[in-house]
Amino acid sequence: MWLLTLYRSTVGKKAIMAVTGLLLVVFVIGHMAGNLQVFVGAARMNGYAAFLKSTGELLWVVRLGLLAAVLLHILMALQLTRIKAAARPVDYQKRQPQVSTVASRTMRWGGVLLLVFIVFHLLHFTTGTIFPWASAPDALHPEFSHTDVYGNVMSAFHTPWVVLFYVVAMLFLLLHLFHGAWSSVRTLGLTTPSRQPMKRHVATVVALVVWLGFTAVPVAVFFGVIR
């Protein structure tokens, strides 16, 4: 009943987007921190990967939870975008945005790009279906390995377009988080009144740290900082 009230209202739909979004923020922070172990060495990285796999059912609970969060997030975005389109059938001949950030204005299309990235990334590192580095001259091993995560990472980021795609996708993640990590908390009404409500310190730090941590790995591998 409560969820139905939420589902039927634009405020409720935004609340669902905010909650699922915040769950995903927590996930990307954890994922980014986990990734950084690649700088420690192969044993540490593969040990961490083995530990995650050893959690068994729990891993699947998390995976299905994340899938549900992503699907709900997308469903709400689609519905709200439709409502937005219907809310202004005749647009202005001239409109001059005043204070809205680039981040806020790229949430929809940036989100679509992030979805494409997530699908690619899962096929790239989880299933190993896409394997664009087989021909790379200094690949550690020519095939995807389900146990040698470190080797996969080292091999993966020698193809320029793959690295570029990751770097660009992470820029959009930076923008998505810069707006989303801030607005989701406001949407849920968890903020106290502020003199400068558009200021966002925590979201800025979260967005920058996640962006740096994620971007560091493909860039470091590409330029041979870690090998």
Point out which residues bind other proteins (CB under 8 A).
1-2, 5-6, 8-15, 80, 83-84, 86-101, 104-105, 107, 179, 182-183, 186-191, 193-194, 197-198
Give 154-157 contacts, CB < 8 A, sequence gap 24+.
154/221, 154/226, 154/227, 156/124, 156/125, 156/218, 156/221, 157/133, 157/217, 157/218, 157/219, 157/221, 157/222
What distance in Å separates the CA atoms of residue 204 and residue 209, rounded to the nearest whole number?
8
Distance of CA 13 to the CA centre of its chain: 20
DSSP-derived secondary structure letter, 141: S
Pick the closer one to other proteins by CB: 57 or 91: 91
Rounded to a whole number of angstroms, the minimum distance from the CB of residue 168 to other proteins is 23
Q: CB 65 → other proteins: shortest distance, Å?
A: 21
Between residues 84 and 146, which has the closer beta carbon with respect to other proteins?
Answer: 84
From the CB of 74, what's the least distance to other proteins, in Å? Answer: 15
C-beta of residue 175 within 8 angstroms of C-beta of residue 106? yes
15 versus 49: smaller Cβ distance to other proteins = 15
Tokens of 2: 């409560």
Name the token pair of 77: 């975005």
At its nearest, how many Å lie between other proteins and the CB of residue 126? Answer: 31
Nearer to other proteins, 4 or 224 (CB): 4
> Is the CB of 100 or the CB of 127 nearer to other proteins?
100
Distance of closest approach, residue 209 Cβ to other proteins, in angstroms? 22
